[in-house]
A and B are shown apart, each in its own frame.
Chain A
């Protein structure tokens, strides 16, 4: 359908074309007034005296011509616009009224209420976008209702999510639905196979050009008690004789608090059970433990949550092997001698590769020493750090790191990177207080007063020498002798190791105490940080404990460490050249920090439990070649091995599709070429049935449904597609402009008035 709108506008031509109308009118008005004044004055000073009536008549004729010319210049135009009217198709709103949506959790919250509350906030935008809505309720069956709050007679002990969507699509008005909003938890309990039902629904929605907008209803739980292992996180590969961290996350819903024995088997040894407290309601519990890696080999790990025979359990394994070289990005904020000594140590050790960024001059000038790998600047995206295992920030000032660079570093460390921060001095570290960088470091920086380093005697001597021309033996020799007598060197102090350092580093490292002269004071260690070394005497004013020299903490999946001294060049110069304590310290510290950095083939966020018959995507990271993925049911030795189908790649992570065919423990194996495979164990369970199965809303399924139909998972704000559509007006199909000053009568009027004026001037002897 089209509509036509006619309007009138001024379209200035000539030099006025393109000017803003107000400016064009101003210019034209000024010209018009000037011309009128000139006309009036001109007829007041004619060679032949005119009577007032004749003067008025001639002036009026000339002003008429002038006015018409100006109007023609302004370009009066008739504009005709033809619009295609916006097509609006109604929106269908499907509301899940099944038992899982209407059952209250331990706080009395219902998924249906949660979804409806958010739908009410979105409804005005939906109405503006789609014009009208129609509402349906569904559970095991499907009915039309007058409003989202209206009652409906439904059989609620089952849910047909896909059936309801297909029914709504089948009953669409002519032209179809503009979209379907479905308020649900996504738990289809009809017994249909999920994948075919999903495919059928997506196909129908695409055929009708109808996007689906799921709005998940959430609450803590609406079923019976349960306990499940959600995540087990360990490094796939660690260096020999190091330590590594095992982290487990449990999902629990309890009607009353109880204690859960968590049992861990490392290798062939069961460790003493650790009792976890499970509180009432739905909880996610995290538990972690540091484990020794020992000699090269494979460490099998088994975790059992509870003492019942059917208690949730998980298997994993860690490969203990010599690590690949640790790739270090060394950022030198201000030049310091520590780099020369540390880099010399790392240069001789093939276990490390070094890439540097130097700030040589205050103006930010950077020039890299030849034959050294360099970067021009710290990356400002997390992906920019992926070529490295560790970043060392030495003598950096807060002003040198942009917010984007700090945020990128933080994201990279949170995702498994390692940061070693060499705190430069009190003043510079104070600049990091409250920064993005400080958030991930294990310490809180202290405030401190600046200190002066200028020696007044030296300044005085320099000024006097300048005054006399730069050299005079009678003044220089006494100065040099006096300086030799008064040269003072700082006393070095030794690190005082904390007991935890011996556990983590081993007693070999802790036997050597690094020496230092200066250190930056920090206020305190953060909760969760591990302090490895302290000052032998100095106390931190804020905490009253001995000042921190070395500390580290977990940050997300990575680690950050702070050394409050410089890179310990004084220690190296203080040691006999045959002594290797400095070398051991740096090699061990850096290798220990980088020990868990995942580089080799590994499973990425692989689930511990999946449902039979339900397709999942298995993610493999760190693959440097073609990956072969297999799945085998573990309890049946003769079970056929299924090869998983590759499903593309996402940010360097290989994806494989897998639909478990049978219940029980399964093992997934990934290998590159003839290398040893990496394995992941998981449990395949029967699909939860019934409305009170206790499963949370299946948002992953709803997200897939939305993405594949061109819709979006609804949150608290309207999706971008709605906002864009709501702001749209009808589309302009065609516009025609007809200049009115082209009309012949206007030209005739101008010429007639001018001709009459000439005739009268002739008659009154002005020509």
Chain B
């Protein structure tokens, strides 16, 4: 062993003595907890309807980076073994939906579902899939209205869910609902990033929440929260996202 090797060995030994054990234990904990096949993340692809421009075929994929940030947060802060990949499931194809236990639906403009697409969503939810639908609140110019819009939320709440699952019940979730306390505690309920604060709504079928609907634009919090909404909002949005994902996994 030469002098360089000796010094390197001593440095490594010192590091292990001073803090290495703690680091190693934390790393072991994460590695140990990541078990099972990796779970795919799915974004729902659908047509939107813009008041000015008509059908918008690309709005469904707004800010995909936000999804990736949440995936990274889930990977680092929960035991979910989630694949770091952004997949797309077309609402028009049931055989695409069925590969994703959790579908994220997000857009600036409201959806324009065909009956077959509604039937696909209905079948997906009846099989046990979970849908989280949320407004992307930037529709001021496009929808001819004010900045704080809630177009996707209102379309889903007032029309689409009653068409997709008429036997299910949509209602605002109280602050003590488990979704606000599954991983992180949100005693005041849904953290609000922007838009109209209607709160988080749950679609319940046979005693089980099968979909969540939010106007609060958590997703923009995932995307670039601190820059858009002030310090700490990114972390809060990601934590609430983790709550929603873990709640869907642990509630039958």
A572 within 8 A of B: yes
Q: Please count how many residues in chain B sit with their CB below 8 Å of the partner chain's CB atoms.
A: 66
In the complex where A337-B101, A367-B183, A425-B35 touch, is A360 in contact with B79 (Cβ < 8 A)? yes
B37 touches A518 (CB 8 A): yes
B88 touches which of A400, A470, A480 (Cβ 8 Å): A480
Closest to A344 in B: B252
Partner-contacting stretch, out of B4-12, B58-66, B195-203: B58-66
Q: Would you call B181 and A484 a contact (CB within 8 A)?
A: no
- B79 contacts A359, CB within 8 Å? yes
Known: A340-B248, A362-B79, A573-B128. A396 touches B35 (CB 8 A): yes
Contacts of A356 in B (CB 8 A): 250
A interface bracket (residues with beta carbon within 8 Å of B): 35 or more
In the complex, A333→B62 CA distance in Å?
34
B101, A576: Cβ atoms under 8 Å?
no
Chain B 79-107 interface 0/1 with A at a Cβ cutoff of 8 Å (1 = within):
11101111111100000101101100000
Question: Interface-forming stretch among A18-26, A205-213, A381-389, A459-467?
Answer: A459-467
**B17 CB to nearest A CB, Å:** 22
Is B36 part of the contact surface with A, judged by Cβ < 8 Å?
yes
Interchain CB contact under 8 A, B86 and A428: no
Quick one: closest B residue to A336, CB to CB? Answer: B36
Residue A54 interfacial (CB < 8 Å): no
A185 at the interface (CB under 8 A from B): no
B34-60 CB contact bits vs A (8 Å, 1 = yes)?
A: 111111000101000000000000101
User: In the complex, which residues of chain B have a beta carbon less than 8 angstroms from the beta carbon of A470?
Assistant: 63, 65-66, 223-224, 227-228
Give which listed residue, A339, A367, A458, A489, contacts B99 with CB less than 8 A.
A489
Q: Known: A339-B250, A572-B127, A573-B128. Is A359-B37 also a contact (CB below 8 A)? A: no
A209 to chain B, nearest CB (A): 56
A471 touching B252 in the complex, CB below 8 Å, given contacts A344-B128, A362-B33, A363-B29: no
Residues of B within 8 A of A332 (CB): 250
Q: Which of A334, A466, A487 contacts B80 (CB 8 A)?
A: A334
Closest Cβ of chain B to A518, distance in Å, is: 4
B35 near A340 with CB under 8 A, answer: no
Q: In the complex, how many angstroms separate the beta carbon of A523 from the nearest chain B beta carbon?
A: 19
User: B204 contacts which chain A residues (CB < 8 A)?
Assistant: none
- In the bound assembly, the distance between CA atoms of A369 and B251 in angstroms comes to 7
With A453-B84, A569-B128, A573-B127 known as contacts, the answer to whether A347 contacts B78 (CB < 8 A) is no
Among candidates B60, B64, B87, B249, residue contacting A479 with C-beta atoms closer than 8 Å = B64
C-alpha spacing A359/B78, complex, angstroms: 8
Q: Which residues of A contact B63 (CB under 8 A)?
A: 470-471, 476
Residues of B within 8 A of A424 (CB): 35-37
Could you tell me the distance between the alpha carbons of A566 and B38 in the complex, rounded to whole angstroms?
Answer: 11
A268 to chain B, nearest CB (A): 45
Contact B33 A334 (CB under 8 A): yes
Does residue A728 face the partner (Cβ distance < 8 Å to B)?
no
A477 B58 Cβ-Cβ under 8 A? yes
Knowing A471-B223, A569-B101, A572-B127, say if A337 contacts B249 (CB, 8 Å): yes
Chain B residues, CB < 8 A from A675 = none
Closest approach, in angstroms, between the C-beta of A264 and any C-beta of chain B? 44
Query: B68: CB under 8 A from chain A?
Result: yes
B85 & A458 in contact (Cβ 8 Å cutoff):
yes
Residue contact B68 to A458, C-beta cutoff 8 Å: yes
How far, in angstroms, from A112 to B81 measured CA to CA in the complex? Answer: 65
**B126 close to A577 (CB less than 8 A):** yes
Q: Please, how many angstroms separate the alpha-carbon atoms of A476 and B67 in the complex?
A: 12
Q: Is B112 an interface residue (CB 8 A)?
A: no
Contact B250 A335 (CB under 8 A): yes
Q: CA separation between A343 and B227, bound complex, in Å?
A: 41
A-chain residues with CB within 8 Å of residue B183 when the two chains form the complex = 360-361, 365, 367
B69: interface (CB < 8 Å): yes
Residues in A with CB closer than 8 Å to B123 are 576-577
Q: A339-B249, A360-B78, A480-B61 are in contact. Are A334 and B34 (CB under 8 A)?
A: yes
Answer whether A334 and B36 are a contact pair too, CB < 8 Å, given A479-B64, A572-B128. yes
**Whole-angstrom CA separation of A346 from B250 in the bound complex:** 14
Is A552 positioned at the interface, with any CB of B under 8 Å from its CB?
A: no
Residues of B within 8 A of A454 (CB): 84
Tell me if B21 is interfacial: C-beta within 8 Å of chain A.
no
Q: With A361-B78, A574-B98, A577-B123 known to touch, is A336 a contact of B39 (CB < 8 Å)?
A: yes
* Distance of A588 from chain B, by nearest CB (Å): 19
Against A, the Cβ 8 Å flags (1 = close, 0 = not) of B111-155 are: 000000000000110111110000000000000000000000000
A427-B38 Cα distance, complex, nearest whole Å: 12
Query: Per-residue 0/1 for A489-516: is the Cβ within 8 Å of any B Cβ (1 yes, 0 no)?
Result: 1100000000000000000000000000
Instruction: Contact check, A466 vs B65: say whether CB atoms are below 8 A apart.
Output: yes
Bound state CA distance, A424 and B62, in angstroms? 34
| Distance in angstroms between the alpha carbons of A335 and B246 in the assembled complex | 8
B28 contacts across to A, CB distance below 8 A: 399
Interface residues of A in 586-630 (CB under 8 A from B): none
Q: How far is the CA of A574 from the CA of B29 in the complex (A)?
A: 33
B168 at the binding interface (Cβ < 8 Å): no
Provide 28 A-B residue pairs closer than 8 Å at the C-beta atoms, listed in order of the A residue: A334-B80, A334-B81, A336-B36, A340-B251, A356-B250, A358-B250, A361-B183, A362-B33, A362-B77, A362-B79, A367-B182, A369-B182, A369-B247, A397-B32, A399-B28, A399-B29, A425-B35, A455-B83, A458-B85, A461-B65, A461-B68, A470-B224, A479-B64, A517-B37, A518-B37, A569-B101, A572-B128, A574-B98
Excluding A370-B178, A372-B250, A490-B99, 16 further A-B contacts by CB distance (< 8 Å) are A337-B249, A344-B252, A359-B79, A369-B182, A370-B181, A372-B252, A400-B33, A455-B83, A458-B86, A476-B65, A483-B61, A483-B87, A484-B90, A566-B36, A569-B101, A570-B98
